[in-house]
Structures are given as structure tokens and as C-alpha cells.
Amino acid sequence: MSILADESLRISEIFFSLQGETSRVGLPTVFVRLTGCPLRCTYCDTTYAFTGGQTMTLQSILQQVAQYAPRYVTVTGGEPLAQKNSLLLLKALCDTGYEVSLETGGMLDVSGVDERVSKVVDIKTPASGEVAKNLWPNLKHLHLHDEIKFVLCGETDYQWAKQVMSEHRLPQRCDVLFSPAQGQLAPKELAEWILRDRLPVRLQVQLHKLLWGNEAGH
């Protein structure tokens, strides 16, 4: 039996939408959201993905993705890497010919992720409540086509992120994204700080929330 038919993952949802974040913002994308996450960030907007979902074989996931005939596929969560078969899924998606990205919380090892995948790795800030979970050795596994994301809740987070960027020379590793936590930091204020300090980062606002609000599935 094919490994794609034999191995499975717990899936919260598979849907087609516009990419709301990262350098691929605005691009039609299929999202594969895996169930479960070991973190409990204060600003999490996908708590519904902590539990539930349905068990699907890798083959059935690929079949559902193919129905949309996409160019771009994003594997997200929850925390995708909390399920070991996510690595098999990422490889299979790349083998199929899609341009694949992975959204991960940064607390689990990314070294086994297929190098064709664009990794979007969160670095958890103090206000996230999970700063102690950052797995700093992950930084050495990042490539130029990967991205680092900071979700910022206020000026303390911003100053902390600036220090981390400098200490680890993050802009030399890959693109760096600064995203304001919804309802906690105004995008305009963050934009003004970035311009004031001449930071080499991308301001990221969540396009999907501008279009559809907080509806699940976007």
C-alpha cells in the first residue's frame, strides 16, 4: 500500500482563500490546517484548531487540495509540526509541484522540513506568554526563501524584537515580518516605529481579517 494511503494526519480544515500574511499576501492559496498545538499564545486567533478535526490519509488530503488546482499551498495550524506526518505531507505537496509554505510557532525542530518549503517561523515575544518556548537553534536551519515573524502586542515587544533581530542578525538570514496583534497594537503606530527606526522589516497586516473579519476558514 502507498505510504500516502497508509499514513494520516488530524485535520481541522482545508479551504481555498487569499493568503492574508507573509510575502505571498493576496495570492490564491489552499490552506491545510492541522489540529493541535502545544502553545497557548495570548493572542491566538485559531483556538478552534486545538481540538477536534478529522483524521485523513495523506492521499485524501492531496486529493482535496487538488480539487482547487492551486499554485500555492500553506500548511498551518494549530502547530503542524506537532504531528510527525506533517513532514511527509510537506514533501508530498512539493513533489506534486505546488509552491508550499509552512507556518510554525517556532518551538519545534524545523531541520527535517523539506528544503523546498518556505518556512514561516514565529519568534514568540514576551507578551505572547510563550517566550520561553522559542527554539533558537531553528535559526541555523533558515534559508533566504524562509521568513521570520514577530507578533507584537506593544512597544515592549517591539523593543525586544529589535534586540533579537540585532543579536541574531536576522535580516541577513531571511525576510523579517512585524505583525501587530489585533486589538492590542495599532498598525499605524507600528508602521511609524518601523519608519522612525529605519528597520529592514516588512509590516504585515492580516488581509483576510480586513476582508472577512474573524470568520473561520479565511
pLDDT computed for residue 129 by the predictor: 96
Q: Compute CA 20 distance to the chain's CA centroid, rounded to the nearest angstrom.
A: 11
Find the domain containing 201 and state its range: 3-212
Give the pLDDT confidence score for residue 209 in this predicted structure: 80
Amino acid at 14: I
Give me the pLDDT at residue 207, please: 87
Residue 49 included in any domain: yes
Cβ-based neighbours of 214, under 8 Å, separated by 6 or more: 45
Q: Say how many domains are in the chain.
A: 1
Helix axes 155-168, 187-197, angle to 10 degrees: 40
Q: What is the pTM of this model?
A: 0.93
The answer to the question of residue 37 being in a domain is: yes
Give me the phi and psi of 200, to 5 degrees please.
-85, 60
Instruction: Rounding to the nearest 10 degrees, give the CA dihedral for residues 161, 163, 164, 168.
Output: 150
- Residue ranges of the alpha helices (H) in the chain? 3-6, 58-66, 86-96, 155-168, 170-173, 187-197, 207-212
Let me know if residue 217 belongs to a domain.
no
**26 inside domain:** yes
CATH number at residue 126: 3.20.20.70
Contacts of 34 (CB under 8 A, 6+ apart): 9, 10, 11, 12, 49, 53, 75, 76, 77, 78, 79, 80, 82, 83, 86
Report the alpha-carbon angle 97-100-105, nearest 5. 160
The torsion of the CA quartet 132, 136, 142, 147, rounded to 10 degrees, works out to 30
Answer whether residue 218 is part of any domain: no
Q: What is the pLDDT of residue 4?
A: 83
pLDDT values of the chain reduced to their tens digit, one per residue, 218 residues = 477 888 999 999 999 999 999 999 999 999 999 999 999 999 998 899 999 999 999 999 999 999 999 999 999 999 999 999 999 999 999 999 999 999 999 999 999 999 999 999 999 999 999 999 999 999 999 999 999 999 999 999 999 999 999 999 999 999 999 999 989 999 999 999 999 999 999 999 988 788 888 654 44
Cβ atoms of residues 178 and 157 within 8 Å: no
**Predicted local confidence at residue 210, as pLDDT:** 80
